Each structure stands twice: as C-alpha cells, then as structure tokens.
Structure 1
C-alpha cells in the first residue's frame, strides 16, 4: 500500500463516522416524530374539536348559535385521512424540539465555541416564534376569517334561498394548517435575517433601503400563502412588515456589538504593541 492509499483510508474513516452519526441522529428524529404522530393520531378527534373552537367563536360573533356548528365529510375515507394529516401536523410540531436538538448535536462539533454560542439562541427562538405565530392564528385570525365567511350566509325567514356554510372537515383542517404554517414561517423572519446579519450577508442599512420592496413582497406573499380573503391577507402582511422592522433593529444591535468587539480587540492589540515597545526600550 502506498502513501496515497494511506491518505485515502485516513480521509474515509472520518467520513464513515459522520455518516454513522448522521444515521443515528436521523433515527432519533424519525423515531421521535413517529411517537408524536401516534400520540396525536390517537387523540385526533379531541385535537380536531379543539381546532373547531375558533369556528365556534366566529359563529357567536356572527350572531348565530355557537353550539350548533356542523362540519361534514363527503367521502367515507375523508375524515380518516383528515385525522392522519392532523396526526402528522401535530406530530411534527411536538417532535420539532427533538429534531432541532439532533440537528444541533450533529452540526455543533464542527463549529467553534463562539459559533455554537451564537447558533443556540436562534435554535431556541425559532420554535418559540413559530408558537407565537400559531397562537395568533388560533386566537385571532381564524375566528376573523371564519366570521368573514359566515357573513356571506343567507339565513333567516326573509331570505328566499337559504345558503348556509357547512365546511368539510378536510377543508377546514387545510385552512387552519395553511394559516398556522404561513404565520409560523413568517415569524421566522427575525431569526433568518439576524443569522444572515451575523455572518455579514445582510446589513441594517441594506434592509432599511429595501423597506419599500419588502412591503410589496409582504402583501404578495400573504396573497399566495393565505386563503383568498382580505382579512387573512392583511392579517399576515401587517405582522410581516412589523417583523421586518424588528429584523432591522436586531441587525443594528448585532452590528453595534460587532463594532464594539472590534474596537476592544484593536485597543487590546494597540496596548500590547505599546507595552512591547516600552519593554524593548528598557
């Protein structure tokens, strides 16, 4: 065996170790998701009833009886597959901390200590911001959207044609999941921009200069991600613009801290050079 073969063997050993560790991390992540999926699927009906509560609030706002909320399914297998979707969606949310932890454990050994310290807060902030976005959807925007749709009904003795809203279970769950995903994704904006500002890909001045384009993009993204009603579109666009302003503020703080650290390092180097010059003269 020559020297070149020895180099190949030495380089392949760490690669195999990384692949083995990656497989282990993936098994933990998939196993955690599977357990969370089974848990959510077992309680799928209770979880679905919990998701119907905003619909009941909207029914009360529309002046109707909130205890008489009916949803239907038009195919024998529809509600079963709806429960599977709900189990997968809930399982992914429950298992996300475990998945994120496995990702961090796999990446952390290749990072410097200061890089790990910078990456960990964003890893914690990401699920918190997602939950804040989901809570905003549950407690405010879903009732507002359903109230908007309920206001289009034609009910009462004065109406010649009775038109009532009877949502399908799959469509209602799809609406809730779309809104939660959209708001949760948008609420990651400060995390993404802060990470990019930390590595120097974005600046606060650049973000501020692009503000007018960001406002237009916010409304376009809201129109794509949300149902075609003005309530949910404006409701997503306005928090996006607010989060963009928060991102500019965070980028300025990161730049300020970086400038202070560089000034302190430059001062320490200057002091060390001055001390060395004094010792050289003596």
Structure 2
C-alpha cells in the first residue's frame, strides 16, 4: 500500500508532465514565430542596403510627381528643408519605408507559413489565391497613387497657389504626405478581397450589400477623409476607386456564388 505522501507525489508528477506536454507545443509555436520574424527582418534589411546606397536617386524618383507639377506650372523644381537634419534623414527614411513595402510579400509569406499548418486543405486552396491577389492589389494601389493620383493632386495645389505664394513644400512633410497616400490606396485596393470573403463565406448576402449601396458610397468618402491627407482632391480620388472596387468585389462574389449553386 502506498502512503498518502507517495500518492500525492505521483499526482503532482502526472500534473507536471501534463503541463510540460501543453507547454511544448506553445514553445514550438513561439520558436517558429520567432524564426519568421527574424527572417522577415533580415529580408527587409537586405532590401534596405541597396536602397540606402542609392537613397538620393530613389528620393529623386519619389519626388518626381511633385517636380513635374512644379515644372509644368513654372514654379521651379525645389523642395525646402525646414529641419536641420531633414536633407540627410528624409532620403534614408524613404529608403526604409520602401524596404518595408518591397519586403511585404515575403513577410506575408512567412506569416502564411506560420498559419498554414493549422488550416484544412480546402482552406489552404482557398487562401493561396486570396493571398496572391491581396499582394497584387496592394501594389496596384501604390502604382495608381504614384502615377495618377499624386500628379493630379500636386498639379492642382501648384496651380491654385496664390501669385504671391511660392509653392515649395518641406521634404519631411512631402514624405509624410506621399506615404499616407500610398498606404491609403494600398488598403483601399483590398476592398474586393474583403467583399468577396464576406459574400462567399455567407457572413453577408450580396443583396444586403446592394441595398446598402448608398450608405457604402457615403462610407467610401468618409474613409477617404480619414485615410488621406486633409484635402478634398485626395479624398475624392480615393473614394471613387473605393466605390468601383466595392462593385468589382460584389460582382466577383456573385459570380462565384452562382457557380457554386449550379
């Protein structure tokens, strides 16, 4: 016969073994997540090195939409630097942000590798096209912002400047402005993915979204107001694509639902 002390010791031992078994998967997940983060930081760092070396040329490319607007309106081709270290720090900051944008697909891929083992096969097949589409749409939003939106915005600002005002923005404020626009358009271009998921998964019916169209259009303008810098032109140029992308996502979701029902 075992004494009560021995039985208590055995129970404590079994309890400790169960705790260890529960902690091991958690530790394994943490180690895997740590590896994903370190690899992502490394890749972003690898992008940052060449971007830093050619930071002046990259800055010239980033400032091109404004330069072209200034030349078109005979306003010169200069930005100003209000802060002491702006001329040194702003190109480096721009190179860092571009490294983050460039490394985003790899970061998302690492995140996918971390999440994928917990998904079913059907979910994996469904998630891969959405992952690729979301990355492509995000970059498409940045391209549209750079080649179409920014030139229009800067041309408007330069043209409407009073005659006694010389339009020469500060480089730090300019960088903040274009990054907000890039991020805003990248996010807005994800709308088709969001609408598609809501309808296909059955969380929201396509008819419900169609009936709510007037409110969604107003919502697009409200979102444009919060995501873009505080000027009407940027807000309109963001709200209109958001509306079009909503309609596109709704159309694709209806097509897929119809195909499934057949």
Question: In the alignment, which residue of structure 2 is the partner of 1:118?
Answer: 126
Mean CA deviation greater in 33-42 or 117-126: 33-42
What per-residue deviation string (whole Å, max 9, x for no partner) do you get for residues 216-236 of structure 1? 111111122223333222111
CA contact (8 A) 2:67 2:78 kept: no
Q: Deviation at 1:60?
A: 4.3
One of 218, 221, 224 as aligned partner of 1:219: 221
TM-score by length of 1: 0.83
Query: CA distance change for structure 1 residues 30 and 221 in 2, over 3 Å: closer, same or farther?
Result: same
Gaps of 5+ in 1: 156-161, 261-282
Alignment of 1:58-73 (within 5 A): 58-62=69-73, 64=74, 68-73=76-81
CA contact (8 A) 1:182 1:225 kept: yes
- Specify the SS of the correspondent of 1:76: coil
- The question of 1:15 aligning with 2:26 is answered yes
- The question of 1:191 aligning with 2:193 is answered yes
Question: Root-mean-square deviation (CA), in Å?
Answer: 1.8
CA contact (8 A) 1:54 1:139 kept: yes
TM-score by length of 2: 0.89
CA contact (8 A) 2:71 2:77 kept: no
CA contact (8 A) 2:192 2:248 kept: yes
- The question of 1:50 aligning with 2:34 is answered no
- The question of 1:235 aligning with 2:237 is answered yes
Instruction: Give the distance between the partners of 2:233 and 2:30, measured in 1 at CA.
Output: 48
One of 87, 92, 116 as aligned partner of 2:100: 92
Q: Deviation at 1:154?
A: 4.0
Alignment of 1:88-167 (within 5 A): 88-155=96-163, 162-167=164-169
Gaps of 5+ in 2: 1-9
Q: Deviation at 1:240?
A: 0.5
CA contact (8 A) 1:21 1:106 kept: yes
CA contact (8 A) 2:58 2:95 kept: no
One of 229, 244, 247 as aligned partner of 1:245: 247
Q: Deviation at 1:54?
A: 1.2
